[in-house]
Structure 1
């Protein structure tokens, strides 16, 4: 059963197409299940849409939910449409986000760390100011935030857990194995999944998030996995799904999963 849980659309300000475009692309790609998971609003901010090129307006959230639920009904029998969201994780604002999601009938929530110390994880300039020890601290801080997001109880899936390498491939070589293992151990204990996210192919690093060595460690710690293209254009829906499935089987995974009504649905590999 082919599925994709990570897709975006025009509301976030940096993706092309509307929700229906992605659903139709999913049907064309042979998907049986597609999750719509646009970027969460900045709920803690006084402004309705403080960063229009990054995330939707808070006032647009109910339109987003209504549209996904309408399309879920429209395409029933052709493809299963799931209501999700890629939520920023800010430890200091977790309660604000938790309350914003309380009454929404999500099928799943993806928790993603997009900022460390107030700077985007994709900002390659952060590394120029740091010595070797500073590099290690930055990576350890990133994985500590991911660990906190797992413990928060808010999320079903954690998004792109080594995406800090996106525009800085040398990130993978920064020594922080203990922090990564501690993070993966926590994720496994909390019963949260990680996604194999194929959008790394659109960044300098190429390839997927996370790297094979992290996936091997994830298997060791009993972490479940799922799939997300992180498509920002309809043409990337389901991108490299078959290749990811093949690689997971080579690593030793027997199954992956998606979520319906916040409950895991197991798909054999």
Structure 2
């Protein structure tokens, strides 16, 4: 059973291709299940489209859901199309997002922290001039947000939980117990983390999260899933077989995808 739960499309403004293009790519790449999970609008903003080039407009959201559901029906005999969304997590606006999502039949919601301490996690300059203590503080702020997202009850999956290393590979070397505390909490909450292969497109290379985090995730009983985070159709399912092999080497025996917000277990 081959699946990919993290894909985008042109509505977000920084991906290419239609939803149909990604569904067709899933079929070509041998997937039985594909999840569509484009970036959530900025629901708490007074603007219809707060960040063109980053997320879709609020006015597009219902049309996005409608299109996925139509394709789910059209392709039902060829591939299982799942309705998802990659949701930004802002603690101060969580209830706004929660109320919106309650109106739609999502199979799963990915909770991702893209902004930490008011700055993009991918901003290369955020580390300039920081002392070692300040770097630790920044990492702990990030993992506190991830912990809050796990406790929120809004998400079935947490996205790319060490993506802050994307353009700052030394992030992984910053020592703090916050990572273990977060993984323990995620395990207790029953939320899954994704192995996200888009790290290979950033300076850090490889996947999110690093093997050391996956080893600790296994220790804490954290469920894992797969997402290519494809922003172009040809990346759908990227490195799926390699990820499955590595998870087995680490000691995982299964992974999951979500349908109607219920985990579907797939043996490795």
Confirm whether residue 207 of structure 1 aligns to residue 206 of structure 2. yes
Question: Are 1:147 and 2:147 an aligned pair?
Answer: yes
Aligned residue number for residue 47 of structure 1: 47
Question: Structure 2 unaligned runs (5+)?
Answer: none
Q: Tell me the CA shift for residue 117 of structure 1.
A: 1.2
In structure 2, C-alpha distance between the alignment counterparts of 1:175 and 1:128, rounded to whole Å: 18
Cα shift at 1:82: 0.0
User: Which residue of structure 1 lines up, in the alignment, with residue 217 of structure 2?
Assistant: 218
Length, aligned pairs only: 268
Residue number in structure 1 paired with 2:8:
8
Query: What is residue 256 of structure 1 aligned with on the other side?
Result: 255
Alpha-carbon separation, structure 2, partners of 1:155 and 1:133: 31
Question: Match for residue 28 of structure 2?
Answer: 28
2:235 counterpart residue number: 236
Structure 1 spans left out of the alignment, 5+ residues: none
Do structure 1's residue 97 and structure 2's residue 91 form an aligned pair? no
**Residue 118 of structure 1: how far off its partner (Å):** 1.1
- How much is the aligned-residue C-alpha RMSD, in angstroms? 0.4
Q: Tell me, in whole angstroms, the C-alpha distance in 1 between the residues paired with 2:74 and 2:161.
A: 34
Q: Partner residue of 1:192?
A: 191
Distance in 2 (alpha carbons) for counterparts of 1:78 and 1:30: 10
Q: Secondary structure at the match of 1:216?
A: helix
Offset at residue 103 of structure 1 (A)? 1.4
Deviation, 1:130, is: 1.3
Counterpart residue number, 1:163: 163
The runs of 4+ residues in structure 1 deviating greater than 3 Å are none
**1:204-237: CA deviation from partner (whole Å, max 9, x where unpaired):** 0000000000000000000000000000000000
TM-score by length of 2: 1.00
